[in-house]
Structure 1
Amino acid sequence: MKKITFGTSGWRGIIADDYTFENLRIVSQAVAEYIKEKEDPEKGVIVTRDTRFLTEKFVRVVAEVLVGNGIKVFMTEKPTPTPVVSYTIRKEKLSGGINLTASHNPPEYCGFKFNPSDGGPALPEVTSFIESKIAEIQSGNLEIRRMDIMEASHNGLFELIDPSKDYVERLRELVDFEKIADSGIKVAVDLLYGTAIGYLDLICRSISKECLVIHDYRDPYFGGGRPEPDQKRMSYLGNLVVERGLDVGLSVDGDADRFGIVDERGNYVKPNEVIALLAWHLYKNKGKKGPSARSIATSKALDTVAKSFGENVIETPVGFKYLGNLILTQNVVIAGEESGGLSIQDHVPEKDGILAGLLILEMMAYEGKKLSEIKKEFEENFGKFHNARIDLEFRDDSEKESVIRRFEDIEESFADLKVTSVDRTDGMKFFFGEDTWMLVRPSGTEPVVRIYVESVDEERFKDIMEEVRKFAR
């Protein structure tokens, strides 16, 4: 039996392998124990799903266990974005939320994402508690309790809800919809067959002069790939933007917590660039005050922007649970990570890809310029940051560990550059002077080692990238 563990975004597994009805009941009971011991079970839990295989069945399995433990379930009628779950938890003061999603993972995966009562991703102390309860259940020391949904409904423990209206109204408070509408912007939206259907498409249609929407129906195969708005997947949207003469292309991943952006020329705008651009917009155009935050793997372009407005940047380990906590405790202006997740001041402590896309539209409306023009102006003010991520996929752990050990053996230099310091807070981050660095870090959700590189010097950047490719062979 595979061990059930929680990574940076909960538990994920392959459907019919380790992601089974039995294991789902085990995890649900463990979460129920957390809610009973650490939260107020009477406040209830929102339970929802993404658009993957069998999620409409899986979600009822979860609900049966929760109501069997006396915890009221508010179940959404349709697949729901992760940021909507977070917002609903906070607005309705619930005990937590469960979203059965594997986010951007391949189609054969499903997941179990738990957000406690603060609305943010579960922090390590929460997931450790849940894992301990999973172990108790698997050893036979804790039983799984269940109740039929019909009986639960009769007893007032089960209710169907639609949280979409309240969430959209909150976005309207955060983003100037009228200014966007007045700008006459023309938008393309790729929903990637995911949970943003009925959210991002409807909003963009209501506030843009022209809106082209694609992949706005459920497909558990996600068109034959990952539901991830990365550069490769966004190339089709970029071509459409150019062909139709549109201003910008927006996309989100399967559970709508990650974003993808292409400009009017069809060029992919990296998340690192988007985060820095939006920070500039929030400080300059909206007058926001306070620090910003980013993960250890995210570009220091954000630091340069914040510093120009007299603000600092807080660095965290990888995983939005740490950044979300800063939204709550430090009131940061923007919190972002290079994998395509961000949130802002006075919003949810969770990634919101829908919000990110709308903020891009708002920035363009404020500036009255094309996105490529804004990016060019940014580089003129703050310089150009060259960065990239290489994902090394492995067949087994021994192969992966062998490569990690090779990086651990680096002491004095790499790519003929002197190593000035190493930060082992989260992975291994090698510094080669002040503005050049390389981070080596195993993924928390996949059998992958990710290598991040950044430099303001293009030649240094190219040298490190070339050495990484040689080094990892």
Structure 2
Amino acid sequence: MTFKDNYEQWLKSDYIDEETKKELKSVKDEKEIEDRFYRELEFGTGGLRGIISAGSNRMNIYTIGKATQGLADYLNKNYTGEISVSIAYDSRNMSKEFSERAASVLCANGIIVNLFESLRPTPVLSYTVRHLKSKAGIVITASHNPKEYNGYKVYNEDGGQVTDKAAKEILDCISKITEFKNVKAIDLGKAKEEKLLNIIGEEVDKTYIDKVKALTIREELVKKNAKDVKVIYTPIHGSGNVPVRRVLKELGYDNVFVVKDQELPNGNFPTAPYPNPEQPSVFELALKMAEDIKPDVIFGTDPDCDRIGVVVKDKSGEYRVLTGNQTGVLLTHYIISSLKELNKLPENGAVIKTIVTSEMTRKITEDFNVELIDVLTGFKYIGEKIKEFEKTGSNTYLFGFEESYGCLAGTFVRDKDAVIGATLICEMVLYYKNKGLSLYDALIDLYEKYGFYKESLVSLELKGKEGQEKIQKAIENLRHELEPAIDGVKIVKKFDYKLSKEKDILNNTESVIELPKSNVLKFILEDGSWFVVRPSGTEPKMKVYMATVGKNLSDADEKMDNFNKAVMEIINKACEN
């Protein structure tokens, strides 16, 4: 079926409402119609994510309904007896409507739904699936994407995002639904009457908050001195406002100041068009407040409160947004060193990071004789490892993080959790403050001990069908035609995660990569620098991760500048060929 056939089918369907048809008829640009209809919105391991509008390649009640019918078919095929699904949603436009649509379809298929009364963070949904023993979970969010986007993430019964095998099986069920008339739905009022729909809230929140508080490592220090830490916090118009402030308040952090203009939920993100704590611009209002408040730390959480960005003052008095890698290595070191000091560090302790996350982590874990495990990009793979540890008893999970501002301690949640992140960051700031150090001082101390690691990420936006094709072609070019050296430095190792091959170029040997297949390439150079190329799973982008190691901060910066230029020259050439 061509995109035009698909477009016409929507216009003629009795199941598409007149308002949606009117929107479609108003689109005059053929390229725009093609982009809306050249494919079904792709259901991957992250579920769905796309622009909110009419069309098969967009987020709307019809694509949500179809995906949910597929999920319902998958659940009814794989489970017997009573099946329940828990659903949460964030502050984005249409999040509530999409969550109710998903609930309606599931209930119509005889599946019990636990739907939150109002917005909740993604990690709370992960916890709820486990707490209520649901067979699956759904959260409606597009994380840190711009306001035009929304998404639909699916979780398995363990509370982690569905991984490759389950995602493929769900996709197979979705692909069998060829007509909208095959999507069942029920009025939510009737679903409640038939005891198929439960509205949930505080009873779940309280147990979650109690478990977050129990992750405190230095309990006495926090109990006595939490009030000494001064914090500025911004929820960036998202779902973190209530739970983050609640847990900090209950732990005794009384000096938490919230950025008022970014406090309330708002799917248009009026003060932050790109509501991403990786972006320094989202902290402009917080930094103005800082002139008077003079906080020890500033942090912000994204709309679904699974990522956290941290701002600290450096030696010159300038505020700096820490990278996800910097926050992650600080927390890794704080957690491990504190557990060791308190004689609570298990012999089989493990830290988990993704393949694009800082190698400085390895130096820290080696120093404390803690195992470091690498997984593919995506927190679902960290959640999968936690489950494996529980089954085999091979390791005790200590901490996991990825460079994209996500981290997790504890095992009652199986996704990155900025509520937990905020709690541990406050404790870490308090610990260093008691020693007369700022968080920036602590970071410099780590650099001086383990090496001056510098990481960088470049995202190349390539929209539409042509953009997707260009990304795939560029990665194939790099897979087969990359020069043997970059800026005079030899490439010594090549990791091809699609072919599951690790090649030692110097010794001309190959070994098998024991990770799921993914269209990702990683190249390691003779001087310890490396870069990774992969397509984004959630945006029309190709991502290029780079890392170098310097003798000091300025040397690391200079090396990264030169390396970045050399790598991007190669990447741009691969995109053009």
Task: Provide the TM-score with structure 2 as the length reference.
Answer: 0.78
Is contact 1:191-1:216 (8 Å) kept? yes
Query: Which residue matches 1:211?
Result: 256
The answer to whether structure 1 residue 284 and structure 2 residue 324 are counterparts is: no
Query: Which residue matches 2:324?
Result: 271
Matches within 5 A, 1:174-253: 174-175=215-216, 179-180=221-222, 182-183=225-226, 184-206=228-250, 207-214=252-259, 215-223=262-270, 224-236=272-284, 237-253=286-302
The answer to whether structure 1 residue 328 and structure 2 residue 394 are counterparts is: no
Matches within 5 A, 1:126-141: 126-138=166-178
> Can you list the C-alpha shifts for 1:25-76, whole angstroms capped at 9, x where unaligned?
1111111122222345624111121111122222211111111111111110
- One-letter code of the match for 2:238? G
Match of 1:159 among 190, 198, 201: 198
Which stretch of the first structure deviates more once superposed, 287-296 or 164-173? 287-296
Is contact 1:41-1:70 (8 Å) kept? no
Distance 1:39 1:455 in 2: 49
Query: Which residue matches 1:407?
Result: 478
Distance 2:294 2:169 in 1: 52
> Can you list the C-alpha shifts for 1:65-123, whole angstroms capped at 9, x where unaligned?
11111111111011111100111111221112111111111111111111110000111
Match of 1:363 among 401, 410, 428: 428
Is contact 1:234-1:262 (8 Å) kept? no
Matches within 5 A, 1:424-439: 424-425=496-497, 426=518, 427-433=520-526, 435-439=528-532
Matches within 5 A, 1:98-109: 98-109=138-149
Distance 1:250 1:232 in 2: 11
Query: Which residue matches 1:23?
Result: 63
Distance 1:235 1:23 in 2: 35
Q: % of aligned pairs identical?
A: 26
Distance 1:233 1:205 in 2: 27
Matches within 5 A, 1:46-65: 46-65=86-105
CA RMSD in angstroms, aligned pairs only: 2.0
The answer to whether structure 1 residue 4 and structure 2 residue 97 are counterparts is: no
Larger radius of gyration: 2
Displacement after TM superposition at 1:238 (Å): 4.1
Displacement after TM superposition at 1:347 (Å): 3.5
The answer to whether structure 1 residue 169 and structure 2 residue 234 are counterparts is: no
Displacement after TM superposition at 1:139 (Å): 6.0
Distance 1:241 1:315 in 2: 37
Match of 2:564 among 446, 465, 470: 465
Is contact 2:236-2:282 (8 Å) kept? no
Task: Provide the TM-score with structure 1 as the length reference.
Answer: 0.94
Distance 1:407 1:21 in 2: 39
Displacement after TM superposition at 1:380 (Å): 2.3
Distance 2:53 2:411 in 1: 40
Structure 2 gap ranges (5+): 1-36, 390-395, 498-517, 551-555, 573-577
Which stretch of the first structure deviates more once superposed, 183-192 or 372-381? 372-381
Displacement after TM superposition at 1:346 (Å): 2.9
Displacement after TM superposition at 1:398 (Å): 4.3
Query: Which residue matches 1:150?
Result: 189
Distance 1:292 1:150 in 2: 46
Distance 1:371 1:179 in 2: 17
- One-letter code of the match for 2:107? V
SS state of the match for residue 138, structure 1?
A: coil
> Can you list the C-alpha shifts for 1:125-172, whole angstroms capped at 9, x where unaligned?
1110111111101268x9322222111111111111103222111101
SS state of the match for residue 60, structure 1?
A: helix
SS state of the match for residue 286, structure 1?
A: helix
Is contact 2:231-2:256 (8 Å) kept? yes
Is contact 1:241-1:264 (8 Å) kept? no
Distance 1:5 1:442 in 2: 14
Q: Aligned pairs, how many? A: 472
Is contact 2:296-2:429 (8 Å) kept? no
SS state of the match for residue 152, structure 1?
A: helix
Query: Which residue matches 1:422?
Result: 494
Displacement after TM superposition at 1:365 (Å): 2.4
